[in-house]
Each structure stands twice: as structure tokens, then as C-alpha cells.
Amino acid sequence: MTKKTPVAVVVFLFIGLALAPAINADIGILSKREPTSISNGNHPPIYIDGNDEFTPENGVTGGNGIENDPYIIEDWVIVGDGSISEGIFINSTNAFFVIRNCSVSNFFSPNDFCFGIKFANVENGKIENTNSFENYIAIGVRYSTHIQIDNCSGFDGYDAPSNFLSKGISCYYSTYITITSSECYNVDIGIYIDEASDVVIENSECYNTTWAGIECEGSDWQLMRIAIKDCTVHDNEFQGITLHYWGDIFNRMHPSYSYISGCEIYNNVNSSYPALNIQCISDNIIENCIIHDNNEGFYIDTGNNIIRNCSFFNINGTGLTIAGGFLFPFDIARKNKVLNCNIYNNSLGIGLIGSINTQVEKNNIINNSILGMMTFNVFFTKFNYNNIVNNGYASLNGTGGIFSWFSFVNVRNNWWNSSDGPSGVGPGNGDSLNRRFSIALFRPWATEPIPDAGVQ
């Protein structure tokens, strides 16, 4: 995992828009604490290697390993003493099993990567109603498939060796993983999906992390297909949710086919990083999300994405940024759609940089203090049927509606908060349209507000 600042921050500084105040956050890694007493454990660490080792001696309390009657590992409290790296380690199995109502803690070492619960080369496993805490990785899934994690908690992670980041739930090179009704907090990364595919994260909460609430990293070997639904992600030091690919950064069109829906992302406080971040992966849908009270909102630098029915508000910087190449936007940040969103009370509502064929339609863009929208090096953008109201009330020269630099955009049929159209280069008294070395086609304009704009 690599920390990278989105290019849009650099570009906005270049053109002279101070979009967000700097925040002097004290970012650090978690400090080591004294180990929890091991006297409260009622079972030693469990190690199962192969189906034949699902035995009572290894903590199995029932079941026969078939789908309708899985092996049960239940009601154990397992506390580490520094002599072993995993609290529960299951390896190379395909029998059905459930870990239920367990507590696993205190697995850490200054020289080793330790797990509260670890699956490796496992199929058909489930963890439910279980707490894993004071470990480097609370729950780790590696090279496994068809794994369910339900109503579990991963929290209070320790520092890891060699600057390794502690995690609540970590999935690596795995497929068909389902994480539901779980929470991760007081770790470096809440939920980390690394080179895994067909992962569902639903009704879960990630907060108080030193890096990201949910981070998903892609690869060349398979499509991501990550679904993040109805999750709450808040109070993280850097990012709320981030999906990215750090391979060939010159080709930002790696298809992902991921889906983020019904999530609320707020109070993610570092000024340089967006609350929701999608980089170098394309073909995603983001809908019905609420992103608010962050320093930066949503940043995306790829193409073929749909953003609809979302709200972006109370962002110190930019509510929504779509950024492609600084000078040559071709084949990146293309064919994105922003539909039926509410974008209000931000410094800058929408920032478009180095993008082509963007469709921004039927949005409410209201009360953004510097600008409703800015375009820079943007071509063939359709910005139509939007309500552009009361933007730029604190900006220089009243350039509050749309400011277009070095661009060719279609801004027809918008409501500019006046029946006689935009001010600036327009003839009216509404929010302004200003152009610098740009073509912006604004006639005709709407003579009354667009009734079906905004979140439906």
C-alpha cells in the first residue's frame, strides 16, 4: 500500500484556487502497549492443517463438516503469550466450518506478522459473532475462497514490524469473500482487500484508523468486482474508502466493475486526501452515497464511471473531482457521468481536469463558496439541466457559477438562478459563467428551476 496525493491537488494550486485550509493533523502509528494478561483464556491457540484436524482436541465442539452441519469452533477465549503467531490458524481445508462467539487477542511480535485469526488456502469457512483485538491483523484471509465474516469486530491493532500496517480485516489473493455487519476501528486500515475479487462488504462500520477505513487494491491477474454497500466510514486520518491500482499508472483504464452504494463517509480529516478515492481503475458505479464534513470529497481519475443520486456537502475543498491528464486527457477520465446529485456548501462543487466526454446532468449545485464548477483542459463535456444557485458568494470577482479554462464545454439548458440566464459572459443576473481561453455554449438556458434535478 502506497500513499499518493491525487494530481488534482497540484493542479488546483497551480491555477490559484485555495480550496481548503491546511490541517495540522498529528498522524502517527499506533504505539505498543503492555500485553493483556493471558490468565483469562480458556483455550490455547488452535492450529488446523487439513480436514482431518477438525477434532475436539483442536477446539471443534460439534458438526461433521458438510454444508448443512458444519464443524463448530465455539465459545473460546484465546489470549496470546508471545510464543505463537496466530490465535486460530486454519490451513488447506475445504470442509464447511464456523468459528462462532470467540474472542482472540494479544497476538503480536516485534519480528513476525501475527494474526488473531488466519485462513490460508481455505474454502467454505465462516466467522461470526467474534472479537479479535490487540493483534497486528485481527482477521486475515489468504489464498482462500467462499469465506463469510459476519458480525465480527477487529480493533485495537498493534504496531507491526518493518512499517507494516495493522488491519481489522485483511483479504489477500482470495475470491468470494463476504463481510457483513462488522466493525473495525483503532487500527491503521479497517478493511483491506488486496488483489482479491468478488468481495462484498455490507452494513459494516470502519472508523478511527490512521490511514483508511476501507482500502481495496487491484491487480492485473483478475477483475476486482468489489461491492461496498450500506457502510459507515468515518473519523479516519487520511481516507474513508479508497479503490486503486498501483501498476501501470499511465494506463488508468483497468476495468474494476465495482459498486459502492448507500454508504456514508464523513469526518475523514487529512486535507490532502479525499474521503472517497478511486484511482487507475475504471467501470465503477457509485450511487446513493452521502459524503460530508471531510476536507476533500470524492476524487476519481479514470473513465466509464457512473456517479448518481449522491450528496456531497460541507467539504472544505472540492465536493467531486474528476481528473485525467494534466496536458493530454485522451483515453483517461473519459465518459464519466454525474447524475442527480446534490453538491452544496463546499468550497468548490465540481472540479473537472483533463477529462473528455463527461456528462453532468440534473444536479443541484448550490451554495459552494468559491465555484459551482471549474473546468481545466476539458473537452466535449455536457453540463446540462442542472440548478446552479448562489455559488461563489465568497469568491473573487463574483465568478461563482462555472469557471472554464482551456476547455470546450456544452453548458446549455441550466437554471442559473435567474430567468435571464447567467451573468459573467452571459446576459443575465444569475450565477456567473466565465471563460478563459474556452468555448462554453450556454444558450438556451432554463427560465425556471429544473424540477427533477438532484437526489431522487
Section 372-390 average pLDDT:
95
Lowest-confidence segment of 271-275, 377-381, 403-407 by average pLDDT: 271-275
Cβ atoms of residues 247 and 215 within 8 Å: no
In percent, how much of the chain has pLDDT > 70?
Answer: 84
Q: How many structural domains is the chain composed of? A: 1
Residue 374 lies in a domain: no
**Is the pLDDT at 22 greater than 50, yes or no?**
no
Residue 5 lies in a domain: no
Residue 379 lies in a domain: no
Position 23 confidence tier, pLDDT thresholds 50, 70, 90: very low
HSE at residue 187, side-chain half, CA atoms within 13 A, is: 33
pLDDT value at residue 247: 60
Section 133-145 average pLDDT:
96
Q: What one-letter code names the amino acid at 438?
A: S
**Is the pLDDT at 271 greater than 70, yes or no?**
no
pLDDT value at residue 210: 93
**Is the pLDDT at 321 greater than 60, yes or no?**
yes
Position 252 confidence tier, pLDDT thresholds 50, 70, 90: low
Position 36 confidence tier, pLDDT thresholds 50, 70, 90: very low
**pTM of the predicted structure, to 2 decimals:** 0.89
Cα separation, 190 vs 207, in Å, equals: 7
pLDDT value at residue 24: 28
Nearest CA to 312 out of 295, 338, 294, 290 is that of 290
Section 71-97 average pLDDT:
95
* 3-state SS record for the chain: CCCCCCHHHHHHHHCCCCCCCCCCCCCCCCCCCCCCCHHHCCCCCEEEECHHHCCHHHCEEECCCECCECEEEECCEEECCCCCCEEEEEEEECCCEEEECCEEECCCCCCCCCEEEEEEEEEEEEEECCEEECCCEEEEEECCEEEEEECCEEECCCCCHHHCCCEEEEEECCEEEEEECCEEECCCEEEEEECCEEEEEECCEEECCCCEEEEEECCCCCCCCEEEECCEEECCCCEEEEEECCCCCCCCCEECCCEEECCEEECCCCCCCCCEEEECEECCEEECCEEECCCCCEEECCCCCEEECCEEECCCCEEEEEECCCCCCCCCCECCEEECCEEECCCEEEEEECCECCEEECCEEECCCCEEEEEECCEEEEEECCEEECCCCCCHHHCCCEEEECCEEECCCCECCCCCCEEECCCCCEEEEEEECCEEECCCCCCCCCCCCCCC
Residue 451 lies in a domain: no
Residue 296 lies in a domain: yes
pLDDT value at residue 218: 87
HSE at residue 318, side-chain half, CA atoms within 13 A, is: 27
Cα separation, 159 vs 29, in Å, equals: 7
**Is the pLDDT at 138 greater than 70, yes or no?**
yes
pLDDT value at residue 399: 60
Question: Virtual CA dihedral for 421, 427, 433, 439, nearest 10 degrees?
Answer: 110
pLDDT value at residue 411: 97
Residue 382 lies in a domain: no
Residue with the three cell numbers 484511482? 279
**Is the pLDDT at 31 greater than 50, yes or no?**
no
CATH of the domain at 152: 2.160.20.10
Q: Domain containing 186: what range?
A: 36-367
Cα separation, 201 vs 192, in Å, equals: 11
221 burial (CB, 10 Å; 0-12 / 13-18 / 19+) is: exposed
Section 84-109 average pLDDT:
95
pLDDT value at residue 320: 98
Cα separation, 372 vs 174, in Å, equals: 42
Residue with the three cell numbers 431522487? 456
- Round the average pLDDT of the chain to a whole number and report it: 87
Position 280 confidence tier, pLDDT thresholds 50, 70, 90: confident
Cα separation, 72 vs 358, in Å, equals: 52
Lowest-confidence segment of 184-188, 243-247, 387-391 by average pLDDT: 243-247
Query: Which tens digit of pLDDT belongs to each residue from 357-378?
Result: 999 999 999 999 999 999 999 9
Residue 423 lies in a domain: no
Section 89-94 average pLDDT:
98
Residue 278 lies in a domain: yes
pLDDT value at residue 7: 45
Query: Which tens digit of pLDDT belongs to each residue from 212-251?
Result: 999 999 876 667 899 999 999 999 999 999 999 866 555 5
pLDDT value at residue 331: 52
